[in-house]
């Protein structure tokens, strides 16, 4: 893994909050250089701890001990200052607006190596490795349905559920909230964010049978994992 220092001024203190989340993004800009420039522009007030180019080059932008400004207005499992408690990684990709395309193997390989190091350094449980769209479902679509969440989970990064029983439509909202999604976001948006991460073959915000079963499988595994830890 090739790491290049590209410091961003857009950072401040975590205020004593410990790191317990990893949030993944795409840059959503026409070029990698434009994205790197913006992430270092004081006027833009955005940054990430790392940005990974499509060729696998890793840019280190903000020290992990500091708060980077990547998540914006967001929520997960009762918390709103997601930046204070997370490591943020940007993947260079034009995104849905400028020509969304698959993440190359070199980029995902570098991400996998980097995430392994981060997970060694911080107490981040698998179910708190999330996408920007998970923590801001009303505003964000990144890293999107082309992101290989299942492959990453197979490499030990994140959580990938086996399908469970159909919990019924009425169970969707409470189960999504139980995992961590914002209860104040319209259900269709949370369902779409959940699909983008865990059932990417169809992201339409409709809680169909397969989506419901995937969610119940996730919650069943989550309950086992969390009760085993307490
Ligand atoms: Zn993002």
Phi then psi for residue 217, to 5 deg, are: -65, -40
CA angle 194, 200, 205 (to 5 degrees): 50
Q: What is the pLDDT of residue 227?
A: 86
Query: Pairing mode, if any, of strands 11-13 and 21-26?
Result: unpaired
Beta strands in 6-62 (DSSP E): 11-13, 21-26, 50-52, 58-60
Cα dihedral across residues 176, 181, 187, 193: positive or negative:
negative
Query: pLDDT digit string (tens) for 128-169?
Result: 999 999 999 999 999 999 999 999 999 999 999 999 999 999
Taking the centre of ligand 1 as the mean of its atom positions, its distance from the CA of residue 90, in whole angstroms, is: 7
Q: Is the pLDDT of residue 229 over 70?
A: no
Distance 166 CA to ligand 1 centre (A): 31
Cα dihedral across residues 205, 222, 134, 110: positive or negative: negative
| pTM as predicted | 0.97
- The 3-state DSSP class for residue 126 equals helix
Report CA(227)–ligand 1 centroid distance (Å): 31
Cα 176 to Cα 168: distance, rounded to the nearest angstrom? 13
Ligand 1 centre from 218 Cα, in Å? 23
Residues 177-225 pLDDT 10s: 999 999 999 999 999 999 999 999 999 999 999 999 999 999 999 999 8
> What's the 142 CA to ligand 1 centre distance in angstroms?
5
What pLDDT does residue 212 have? Answer: 98
Catalytic residue numbers, as ranges = 90
How far does the centroid of ligand 1 lie from the alpha carbon of residue 121, in Å? 23
């Amino acid at each position: 893994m090739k790491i290049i220092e590209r410091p961003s001024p857009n950072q401040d203190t975590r205020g004593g909050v410990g790191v317990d989340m990893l949030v993944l993004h795409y840059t959503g800009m026409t070029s990698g250089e434009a994205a790197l420039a913006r992430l270092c522009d004081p006027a833009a007030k955005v940054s990430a701890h790392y940005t990974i180019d499509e060729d696998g080059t890793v840019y280190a932008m903000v020290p992990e001990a500091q708060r980077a400004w990547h998540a914006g207005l967001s929520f997960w499992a009762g918390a709103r200052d997601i930046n204070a408690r997370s490591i943020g990684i940007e993947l260079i990709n034009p995104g849905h607006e400028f020509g969304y395309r698959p993440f190359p193997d070199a980029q995902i390989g570098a991400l996998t190596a980097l995430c392994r190091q981060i997970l060694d350094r911080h107490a981040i449980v698998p179910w708190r490795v999330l996408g920007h769209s998970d923590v801001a479902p009303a505003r964000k679509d990144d890293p999107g349905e082309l992101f290989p969440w299942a492959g990453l989970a197979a490499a030990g990064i994140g959580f990938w559920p086996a399908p469970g029983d159909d919990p019924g439509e009425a169970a969707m909202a409470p189960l999504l909230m139980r995992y961590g999604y914002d209860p104040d976001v319209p259900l269709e948006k949370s369902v779409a964010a959940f699909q983008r991460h865990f059932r990417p073959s169809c992201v339409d915000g409709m809680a169909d049978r397969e989506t419901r079963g995937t969610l119940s499988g996730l919650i069943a595994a989550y309950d086992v994992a969390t009760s085993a830890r307490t």
